[in-house]
Amino acid sequence: MRAFNPTIAKGLTPLQSLIARKWCPQWVCTSCRHQQGRRQSTTPSQTLDKPYYATTPIFYVNAAPHVGHMYTMILTDVMKRWQVLKGRKAILMTGTDEHGMKIQQAAARADINPKEFCDKGADVFKDLAKKIDISNEEFIRTTDKRHKEAVEYAWLRLWDEGYIYESKHEGWYSVSDETFYPQTQVQLIVDPPTGRKLMASIETGKEVEWTSERNYHFRLTAFKDKLLEFFKSNPDFVVPRTRMDEVVNHVNTALTDLSVSRPVERLTWGIPVPTDPSQTIYVWLDALLNYATVAGYPFTPGREHEGGWPADIHVIGKDIVRFHCIYWPAFLMALDLPLPKQILTHAHWTLGKQKMAKSTGNGVNPFWALERFGIDTMRWYLIHEGGITDDADYDNSFIIEKYKKHLQGGLGNLTSRIMRGKGWDVQRAVRRYAHPDQRTDSDAHPVVSDESDRTGRRTYGRLRDLPEQVDKHMRELHPNRALQALSKAVADMNGFLQQASPWTLVTQLQSLSAEATGTELHDAMKAGRGPDELEAEIDRTVYLTAESLRMVGIMLQPFIPDAAKRLLDMVGVAEDRRTWEWCVMGKDDAYGSPLVELGKGEEGVLFPRLVSEY
């Protein structure tokens, strides 16, 4: 790495010169520079000290959010909370993207100052994050002073390394997408509402206009081989695989150098180029750097991992894959920084089979949805039904149907049947069959399994394997499949409970204890259906069901935190026994007595009727 070049500082403001001088001398010497592939590795101590770092995209404030933005936030929150559940320190970042042509134009239309416009927009997204219980430690705004300084510093490093050059640029530019498109990526279309013929991006359908201007370019093509080698070495970098294939294909066939500034005559609302005040930094170069800004960039040597860098997961919508999965890795390579570990690219929510979009007004107001259905319902529905690979269509009636089937009629019904059932004692069943000190691997033979019939043993096996099954889905970045697995486990348990019908055995036990003659009692005991045997069979069924509620409740905490807490309170699980280490079949032998009054108040009702049903 070349040392700070004083010739670059000519014409810089004192602040810009300070930024450059503050960090360049202490960064890293040439002899310490590693190959890009080696920089991806970390020492064991670094890995242990580094928090898990999850990010949402930063959201554009040119219009109000819709349900799709809420989905991205919740998806990221679930990934972060899962790591916390497993005992790892984790950081979640969200925020707002506040520069660029769209913001400049939107503020002009609203006839207010761009900063004032952005302040109002940022407050809306902060409010949304709070209302859906996002556990974010950071909310970044690209107008923040710390971010502006980080972007200026990054520009100076890229310039000093020769990755930025000045050139005339001609091409099709989309104000909506804030990007240039080559001729091969645009087409002539007819706008349905107006019948007007226009050129539009094939990828997004947004209008483009021919633009010719002089600006700065990033040598993206210089990173083609490095990008392809990285993708080859990290085949799970982009999830799902279909989008990884699209990214590789684009790099192979359509990579061109990237315009990274705009003339100030066209764009004033942004960060000025430090070396040329007549140009404004391209909004995507500015925006993508926010992830590093939050983690502490420019990093102090030896403390790079304290803020979580490199990011463990970026969660984004599929419409911004190119920016995050091609441009961003190349920028990081040029800045000599480790790349994020994975990028989860989710599909869209549609309304009437059409993509939700702020620009068209085809969307669902998330605040209205929350008011109508509540936080738990929306968090559960969006994750359970939302698409990672394929789009999902939003429908109010479908939310109600799923709520009644899976939450009220599934988990809520199962909890009520066991915890409010008559004729058995959940605590007694737990004390009888829990095995906290017994091995729980495939060679173990817990009493509850040994004494059960074939159906009971199969049920035990499914419950024992459930945590690993769910965790596997989470490791593969498919939280929808993880939640679906939990829903299926609840449905299976309701079926098991119905088949075992312990209430019938309670009736038999009560009848046998109260009315049986000596001969009848003797015959029942001889047939293996005496009072002790009936009580043991009741307890086995109750224990397996209660244990499923306990483990499902623990695993539901990242998905529906409020409802999961109520569930675990109802089942009587101590607060210090709700972490991943306790999510083992048979480990907890001290639950079963509700911590709240069942059926009373908000805390005693798991899934009440929806407001929309009244």
Given the structure tokens 């294939």, which residue do they identify?
245
Pairwise CA distance, residues 56 & 528, whole Å: 59
Q: Is the pLDDT of residue 294 over 50?
A: yes
Q: Is the pLDDT of residue 590 over 50?
A: yes
- The predicted model gives 47-64 an average pLDDT of 90
Highest mean pLDDT among 39-48, 164-173, 203-212, 410-419: 410-419
Q: Is the pLDDT of residue 112 over 80?
A: yes
Would you state the pLDDT for residue 200?
Answer: 85
- With bands split at pLDDT 50, 70 and 90, how would you rate the model's confidence at 444? low
Percentage, residues of the chain above pLDDT 70? 87
Pairwise CA distance, residues 103 & 114, whole Å: 7
- The predicted model gives 270-286 an average pLDDT of 96
| Distant-in-sequence, close-in-space partners of 378: CB < 8 Å, separation ≥ 6 | 70, 74, 132, 366, 369, 370, 399
118 within 8 A of 98, measured Cβ to Cβ? yes
- Select the CATH number that applies to the domain covering 395-613 from these four: 1.10.730.10, 1.10.1060.10, 3.30.1110.20, 3.40.1780.10: 1.10.730.10
Would you state the pLDDT for residue 194?
Answer: 78
- The predicted model gives 363-392 an average pLDDT of 95
Average the pLDDT over each of 206-215, 482-491, 574-583 and give the range with the smallest value.
206-215
Would you state the pLDDT for residue 515?
Answer: 56
Q: Is the pLDDT of residue 389 over 90?
A: yes
Whole-angstrom CA distances from 591 to 475, 564, 576 are 29, 15, 12
Average the pLDDT over each of 11-15, 55-59, 136-140, 575-579 and give the range with the smallest value.
11-15
588, two tokens: 């907890």
- Give the pLDDT confidence of 209-231 residue by residue, as tens digits: 887 789 999 999 999 999 999 99
- The predicted model gives 503-521 an average pLDDT of 73
End-to-end Cα separation, the chain, in angstroms: 67
- Average of per-residue pLDDT values in the chain: 88
| Distant-in-sequence, close-in-space partners of 439: CB < 8 Å, separation ≥ 6 | none
Half-sphere exposure at residue 399, Cβ-oriented, CA atoms within 13 angstroms: 24
Would you state the pLDDT for residue 38?
Answer: 33
536, two tokens: 């043991």
Would you state the pLDDT for residue 445?
Answer: 67
Would you state the pLDDT for residue 516?
Answer: 54
Would you state the pLDDT for residue 439?
Answer: 47
Would you state the pLDDT for residue 4?
Answer: 39
Whole-angstrom CA distances from 456 to 59, 356, 552 are 49, 46, 18
Average the pLDDT over each of 307-321, 326-340, 397-411, 446-460 and give the range with the smallest value.
446-460
Q: Is the pLDDT of residue 70 over 80?
A: yes
* CATH no. of 14-376: 3.40.50.620
Q: Which of 334, 342, 335, 538 is nearest to 456 (CA)?
A: 538
Would you state the pLDDT for residue 10?
Answer: 44
Pairwise CA distance, residues 282 & 270, whole Å: 8
CATH 1.10.730.10 occupies which residues in the chain?
Answer: 395-613
- The predicted model gives 115-127 an average pLDDT of 97
Pairwise CA distance, residues 402 & 399, whole Å: 5
Whole-angstrom CA distances from 92 to 80, 83, 107, 329 are 6, 11, 29, 20
CATH 3.40.50.620 occupies which residues in the chain?
Answer: 14-376
- With bands split at pLDDT 50, 70 and 90, how would you rate the model's confidence at 456? very high
